[in-house]
Structure 1
Amino acid sequence: MPEHRTRRRVRGAAAALAAVALAGAALTGCTSGTDAAPGRTGSAPSPSPTPLWNASPGSVAAVGDSITRGFDACSVLADCPEVSWATGTDDGVRSLAVRLLGASRAASHSWNHAESGARIAQLPEQMALAAKDRPELVTVMIGANDACRDSVPLMTPVKDFRASFEASMRQLRSAAPKAQVYVSSVPDLKRLWSTGRENPLGKQIWKLGICRSMLGDADDMGPAAIARRDAVRERVVAYNGVLRDVCARDERCRYDGGAVFDYRFTGEQLSEWDWFHPGRNGQARLAEIAYRAVTAAGPPA
């Protein structure tokens, strides 16, 4: 065979082998690095996405009502924010902020914007204040005062409750798009009535006007009184449905799954002044519930 013809065939075979090698490399590049054979270079594994929920936030802002202000936990008809379940500094309570940040850091990296007597309509303004703190976590406990009115017809309509909570979340997201939100369910007011009515002193305080829709005529067990209390409870259940549903649409929001509503407060956990609001012990239980929800691997069922 002539020499020049041999060289052409060698060059052709080499080109074919090179094409096969390139095709193999291309196929290897389409697979993940874990599928490549040992010693062969494949594409690097895709980095894991950053989780949207951080179980160790570095700062906490609280919004809500009298429960988050520690109302009646230290003295009669007065706020006591140092025992707040969300941001308090009391050693016996060990607030959510203390549990997450430690006592010293919690004092400088937590803020309480809740107001005693606040209803859901005031939440957007509180959210705006909380956003200015640039918190990594915002806690929300609101709705008891929307059900605790002088009469059942005065309770906040469910559609208005929804509109206000949606507006609150929009307000927060416009200023703090990455802040996480922990939303507590509204406590079962009927269960609090059932427990608190065992205390004569508490019932005297109730007569000053605390939550008349539920606590008025506390010992009346007639059909009208029973129907009134049931209507309040049903409204609270509806409010909690709104909190759950609206929160579920926000990827950085976590509802407590009804844990606070389901919690069976005893006389030991209620205020010694009004037997309705949580006392120090009750505030500590709320802090425990919140801490479990915030640090869990996933949202409560």
Structure 2
Amino acid sequence: MGTTAPRRRARRRLTGALAAVAVLAGVVTGCDGGEPASEGERGAQAGPRWNTAPTSIAAVGDSITRGFDACSVLADCPEVSWATGDDPAVDSLATRLIGAAQAPARSWNHAVTGSRMADLPGQLASAAAHKPDLVTVMVGSNDACRPLASSMTSVADFRAGFEKALAGLRAASPTSQVYVSSVPDLQRLWEQGKDLPMVRQIWKLGICQSMLADPLSLATGATSRREEVRARVVEYNEVLREVCAKDPLCRYDGGAVFQYPFSAEQLSRWDFFHPGKDGQARLAELAHRQVTAAKPPR
């Protein structure tokens, strides 16, 4: 009984000290005991938020976005472009997002057949002039598709080109969102057409020789060459992912196009390499799914 009072006094001093520490912590951390931050406030703190319903689109890239060989042999067919086309059979990204009536006036296709990453800064400069809500990027196939595997664009140059292009767009049109498609798996396209004699004859005209030369050869040199090209495409896609991740308004497709199992029926009936109308429709579907998702793909 004689030690009860001192213990009570010690307990009160400890409680008071803890309370003081709590108050001090609140001052240091800025906690005022008010309501928690709203979703909008948290979004503002995290940076600009992705708009899942853009109303204007500019497309850049290469022959795939131009619809090359999708309608006739060795010719562009932008009306079936996965990004900005107006063909109902494709139902392009622009049509899905903006509507068939408004899309022609609110979408622009600056892709050029044969383009490589080195051409992207110029294309994005043209796209930026429209101040579009969204810019779609699909480039890299021609950096891997060269006369020889040794002629492929280096990974360092590919990265430098993409960083320059994205920086230029951001300076000219700061609020434009960017959807970046992965480079398709060129080896899978080879697998789809290599056993067809007519296709092999067409490939001899010069289509993607780094991958498609000697399509039936299983010699060590030919096999190693194809594997080298595929590995370079994988490296390109990693560059696209890494550079895009640094920009809060850039969304990479997570490898969706690279991983998509394109079948022969979805490829051009003239070259069995570029997407046909059905292939373009699948690209539009993949893009729409990624652009309208609440969160980016992992």
2:257 aligned with 1:255: no
Stretches of structure 1 that go unaligned for 5 or more consecutive residues are: 1-28, 35-43
Aligned amino acid, residue 31 of structure 1: G
Measured in 1, the distance between the counterparts of 2:38 and 2:162 equals 41
Note the C-alpha offset of 1:33.
4.8
Q: Is the contact between residue 195 and residue 216 of structure 2 (CA under 8 Å) also seen in structure 1?
A: no
Where do residues 21-36 of structure 1 align in structure 2 (5 Å cutoff)?
30-33=32-35
Equivalents in 2 of 1:171, 1:129: separation in Å? 11
SS in 1 for 2:87: coil
1:102 maps to amino acid: G
* Deviation of the 1:221 alpha carbon: 1.2
Distance 1:46 1:211, change over 3 A: closer
Going from structure 1 to structure 2, the CA distance change for 1:275 and 1:46 (only over 3 Å counts) comes to: closer
Cα deviation, residue 52, structure 1: 1.5
Change beyond 3 A, Cα 1:47–1:93: closer
Task: Assess, with a 3 A threshold, how the Cα gap between structure 1 residues 220 and 46 changes in structure 2: closer, same or farther.
Answer: closer
The aligned residue for residue 21 of structure 1 is none
Query: 2:57 maps to what in 1?
Result: 60
Superposed displacement of residue 47, structure 1: 5.1
Aligned length: 265
Q: TM-score normalized by structure 1?
A: 0.85
Hey, what does 1:130 align to over in structure 2?
A: 127
TM-score normalised over the length of structure 2:
0.86
For residues 166-212 of structure 1, the C-alpha deviation after alignment (integer angstroms, 9 at most, x for no partner) is: 00001101100110000000000000000121332222111110000
Structure 1 position 75 matched with structure 2 position 72: yes
What residue number does 2:187 align with?
190
Report the alpha carbon displacement of residue 46 of structure 1 after superposing the two structures with TM: 8.6
Cα RMSD, aligned residues only: 1.7
> What is the aligned partner in structure 2 of residue 244 from structure 1?
241
The equivalent residue for 1:116 is 113
- Compute the displacement of 1:30 (Å): 3.8
Whole-Å separation in 2 of the counterparts to 1:163 and 1:109: 30
Distance 1:31 1:58 in 2: 41
The answer as to whether partners of 1:213 and 1:228 remain within 8 angstroms in 2 is yes
CA distance in 2, matches of 1:192, 1:149: 15
Give the Cα separation in 2 of the matches to 1:46 and 1:117: 44
Question: What SS class does the counterpart of residue 181 from structure 1 fall into?
Answer: strand
Residue 141 in structure 1 maps to residue 143 in structure 2: no
| AA of the residue aligned to 2:182 | S
Tell me which residue corresponds to 2:104.
Answer: 107
Report what 2:11 is aligned to: none
- Distance in 1 of aligned mates of 2:295 and 2:38: 25
**Large movers: runs of 4+ above 4 Å:** 44-47
Q: Deviations over 1:255-293 (max 9, x none)?
A: 000000000100110000000000000000000000000
- Which residue pairs with 2:167 in the alignment? 170
- Asked whether the 8 Å contact 1:32–1:45 carries over to 2, the reply is no
Q: Superposed, which structure 2 residues align to 1:149-164 within 5 Å?
A: 149-164=146-161
CA drift of 1:31 comes to 3.4
Greater CA radius of gyration, 1 or 2? 1
Distance in 1 between residues matched to 2:114 and 2:237, nearest whole Å: 18
Match of 1:269 among 263, 266, 290: 266
Runs of 5+ consecutive residues of structure 2 not aligned to the other structure: 1-30
Secondary structure in 2 matching 1:138: strand
CA distance change for structure 1 residues 46 and 99 in 2, over 3 Å: closer, same or farther?
closer
Question: In the TM superposition, what are the counterparts of 1:78-97 in structure 2 within 5 Å?
Answer: 78-97=75-94
Residue type of the partner of 1:160? D
Tell me the percent identity.
62
Q: Which digits, 9 at most, give the CA deviation of each residue in 1:32-74, with x for residues without a partner?
A: 258xxxxxxxxx9695446510000010000000000000000
